[in-house]
Amino acid sequence: MRNSERAAWAIAVVASAVAVFAIAGRPDAGPGRPSQAELDANKQILLDFFSYEGPRQERAERFMTEDYIQHNPRLLRMDDFTGASGRQAWIEGFEEAERRGIRIVDLGGIPLRNPVLVMAEDDLVTAIYRGEMTDPDDPDRTYEAFAFETVRIRDGKMAEHWDQVTLAPGWMDGDSDR
Protein backbone atom coordinates (compact mmCIF):
# COMPACT_ATOMS: atom_id res chain seq x y z
CA MET A 1 0.00 0.00 0.00
CA ARG A 2 1.38 3.41 -1.01
CA ASN A 3 1.86 6.17 1.56
CA SER A 4 -0.97 8.16 -0.02
CA GLU A 5 -3.32 5.18 0.31
CA ARG A 6 -2.29 4.71 3.95
CA ALA A 7 -2.89 8.41 4.59
CA ALA A 8 -6.33 8.28 2.97
CA TRP A 9 -7.28 5.26 5.09
CA ALA A 10 -5.94 6.94 8.22
CA ILE A 11 -8.06 10.04 7.55
CA ALA A 12 -11.10 7.85 6.91
CA VAL A 13 -10.54 6.04 10.21
CA VAL A 14 -10.19 9.32 12.12
CA ALA A 15 -13.28 10.80 10.49
CA SER A 16 -15.21 7.61 11.22
CA ALA A 17 -14.08 7.72 14.85
CA VAL A 18 -15.40 11.29 15.13
CA ALA A 19 -18.73 10.08 13.77
CA VAL A 20 -18.86 7.07 16.11
CA PHE A 21 -18.10 9.16 19.19
CA ALA A 22 -20.63 11.79 18.13
CA ILE A 23 -23.35 9.16 17.63
CA ALA A 24 -22.54 7.14 20.76
CA GLY A 25 -23.94 9.69 23.19
CA ARG A 26 -27.17 10.24 21.29
CA PRO A 27 -30.34 8.83 22.76
CA ASP A 28 -31.98 8.48 19.33
CA ALA A 29 -29.21 6.36 17.72
CA GLY A 30 -30.47 2.98 16.55
CA PRO A 31 -33.65 1.98 14.71
CA GLY A 32 -35.31 4.49 12.44
CA ARG A 33 -32.19 5.19 10.44
CA PRO A 34 -32.53 7.52 7.46
CA SER A 35 -33.16 6.16 3.97
CA GLN A 36 -30.49 6.25 1.29
CA ALA A 37 -32.28 9.23 -0.26
CA GLU A 38 -32.08 11.11 3.06
CA LEU A 39 -28.39 10.22 3.44
CA ASP A 40 -27.73 11.46 -0.09
CA ALA A 41 -29.63 14.69 0.64
CA ASN A 42 -27.54 15.18 3.80
CA LYS A 43 -24.34 14.71 1.77
CA GLN A 44 -25.54 17.30 -0.71
CA ILE A 45 -26.06 19.86 2.07
CA LEU A 46 -22.39 19.64 3.05
CA LEU A 47 -21.24 19.77 -0.59
CA ASP A 48 -23.50 22.74 -1.36
CA PHE A 49 -22.29 24.61 1.74
CA PHE A 50 -18.65 24.41 0.67
CA SER A 51 -19.39 25.36 -2.94
CA TYR A 52 -21.73 28.27 -2.05
CA GLU A 53 -20.43 31.64 -3.19
CA GLY A 54 -23.01 34.03 -1.78
CA PRO A 55 -22.67 36.41 1.17
CA ARG A 56 -21.70 34.89 4.54
CA GLN A 57 -24.99 35.89 6.22
CA GLU A 58 -27.03 34.34 3.42
CA ARG A 59 -24.86 31.21 3.46
CA ALA A 60 -25.35 30.77 7.21
CA GLU A 61 -29.12 31.26 7.04
CA ARG A 62 -29.43 28.84 4.14
CA PHE A 63 -27.28 26.02 5.53
CA MET A 64 -27.13 26.33 9.36
CA THR A 65 -29.64 25.88 12.12
CA GLU A 66 -30.10 28.91 14.34
CA ASP A 67 -28.57 27.00 17.28
CA TYR A 68 -25.61 25.73 15.20
CA ILE A 69 -22.70 24.37 17.27
CA GLN A 70 -19.13 24.89 16.09
CA HIS A 71 -16.23 22.74 17.36
CA ASN A 72 -13.47 24.51 15.40
CA PRO A 73 -11.19 25.91 18.15
CA ARG A 74 -10.30 28.98 16.10
CA LEU A 75 -13.94 30.00 15.75
CA LEU A 76 -14.56 29.19 19.39
CA ARG A 77 -11.78 31.62 20.30
CA MET A 78 -13.53 34.29 18.22
CA ASP A 79 -16.69 33.64 20.30
CA ASP A 80 -14.73 34.96 23.30
CA PHE A 81 -14.39 38.30 21.48
CA THR A 82 -17.83 38.54 19.86
CA GLY A 83 -20.02 37.07 22.60
CA ALA A 84 -22.19 35.58 19.85
CA SER A 85 -23.70 32.10 19.87
CA GLY A 86 -25.22 29.66 17.41
CA ARG A 87 -25.27 30.49 13.72
CA GLN A 88 -24.54 34.14 14.50
CA ALA A 89 -21.27 33.11 16.18
CA TRP A 90 -20.08 31.62 12.88
CA ILE A 91 -20.88 34.85 11.04
CA GLU A 92 -19.38 37.19 13.64
CA GLY A 93 -16.40 34.90 14.25
CA PHE A 94 -15.28 35.15 10.64
CA GLU A 95 -15.90 38.90 10.63
CA GLU A 96 -13.85 39.37 13.82
CA ALA A 97 -11.03 37.22 12.45
CA GLU A 98 -10.98 39.30 9.25
CA ARG A 99 -10.80 42.52 11.29
CA ARG A 100 -7.81 41.07 13.18
CA GLY A 101 -6.13 39.64 10.08
CA ILE A 102 -6.45 36.07 11.40
CA ARG A 103 -7.10 33.10 9.13
CA ILE A 104 -9.76 30.86 10.64
CA VAL A 105 -9.41 28.23 7.92
CA ASP A 106 -5.89 27.44 6.77
CA LEU A 107 -5.41 23.98 5.37
CA GLY A 108 -2.06 24.66 3.75
CA GLY A 109 -3.50 24.53 0.26
CA ILE A 110 -5.98 21.67 0.62
CA PRO A 111 -9.06 22.93 -1.25
CA LEU A 112 -12.48 22.22 0.25
CA ARG A 113 -13.98 21.22 -3.08
CA ASN A 114 -14.10 17.95 -4.99
CA PRO A 115 -13.83 15.63 -1.99
CA VAL A 116 -12.22 12.24 -2.53
CA LEU A 117 -14.72 10.62 -0.18
CA VAL A 118 -18.14 11.58 1.23
CA MET A 119 -19.71 9.37 3.89
CA ALA A 120 -23.09 9.64 5.59
CA GLU A 121 -24.18 7.70 8.65
CA ASP A 122 -27.36 8.52 10.50
CA ASP A 123 -27.38 12.34 10.69
CA LEU A 124 -23.60 12.78 10.26
CA VAL A 125 -21.82 13.54 6.99
CA THR A 126 -18.04 13.51 6.53
CA ALA A 127 -16.15 14.72 3.48
CA ILE A 128 -12.44 14.09 3.00
CA TYR A 129 -10.44 16.40 0.77
CA ARG A 130 -7.02 15.85 -0.82
CA GLY A 131 -4.30 18.35 -1.58
CA GLU A 132 -0.61 18.59 -2.41
CA MET A 133 1.63 20.24 0.15
CA THR A 134 5.26 21.25 -0.03
CA ASP A 135 7.61 19.09 2.03
CA PRO A 136 8.97 21.43 4.74
CA ASP A 137 12.29 19.53 4.69
CA ASP A 138 12.63 19.61 0.89
CA PRO A 139 10.83 22.45 -0.95
CA ASP A 140 11.38 20.64 -4.26
CA ARG A 141 9.10 17.79 -3.14
CA THR A 142 5.40 17.59 -2.35
CA TYR A 143 3.26 15.07 -0.53
CA GLU A 144 -0.42 14.23 -0.40
CA ALA A 145 -2.31 15.66 2.54
CA PHE A 146 -5.92 15.25 3.60
CA ALA A 147 -8.48 17.34 5.47
CA PHE A 148 -11.94 16.41 6.73
CA GLU A 149 -15.18 18.19 7.50
CA THR A 150 -17.92 16.48 9.52
CA VAL A 151 -21.37 17.95 10.09
CA ARG A 152 -24.52 16.86 11.88
CA ILE A 153 -27.65 17.52 9.82
CA ARG A 154 -30.99 18.38 11.42
CA ASP A 155 -34.09 19.34 9.46
CA GLY A 156 -32.10 19.87 6.27
CA LYS A 157 -29.47 22.16 7.80
CA MET A 158 -26.10 21.80 9.49
CA ALA A 159 -26.57 21.74 13.25
CA GLU A 160 -23.01 20.91 14.33
CA HIS A 161 -19.51 20.93 12.77
CA TRP A 162 -16.10 19.32 13.41
CA ASP A 163 -12.84 19.57 11.46
CA GLN A 164 -9.13 18.95 11.87
CA VAL A 165 -8.10 22.48 12.84
CA THR A 166 -5.60 22.73 15.68
CA LEU A 167 -4.13 25.66 17.55
CA ALA A 168 -0.42 26.46 17.50
CA PRO A 169 1.56 29.18 19.26
CA GLY A 170 1.14 32.47 17.44
CA TRP A 171 -1.95 31.59 15.40
CA MET A 172 -3.71 34.67 16.80
CA ASP A 173 -0.96 36.84 15.35
CA GLY A 174 -2.35 36.28 11.87
CA ASP A 175 0.43 33.90 10.82
CA SER A 176 -1.22 31.78 8.12
CA ASP A 177 1.33 28.99 8.59
CA ARG A 178 -0.20 27.93 11.91
Query: What are the residue ranges spanned by the domains of the chain?
Result: 3-23+34-167
Non-local (6+) Cβ contacts of 113 within 8 A are 50, 51, 129
Beta strands at 157-163 and 64-70: parallel, antiparallel or unpaired: parallel
CATH T-level topology, domain 3-23+34-167: Nuclear Transport Factor 2; Chain: A, (3.10.450)
Q: Of all residues in the chain, what percent carry a pLDDT higher than 70?
A: 78
Give tens-digit pLDDT for 148-174.
999 999 999 999 999 987 776 777 776
Residue 112: other Cβ atoms inside 10 A: 17
pTM of the model: 0.76
How far is the C-alpha of 4 from the C-alpha of 119, rounded, in Å?
Answer: 19
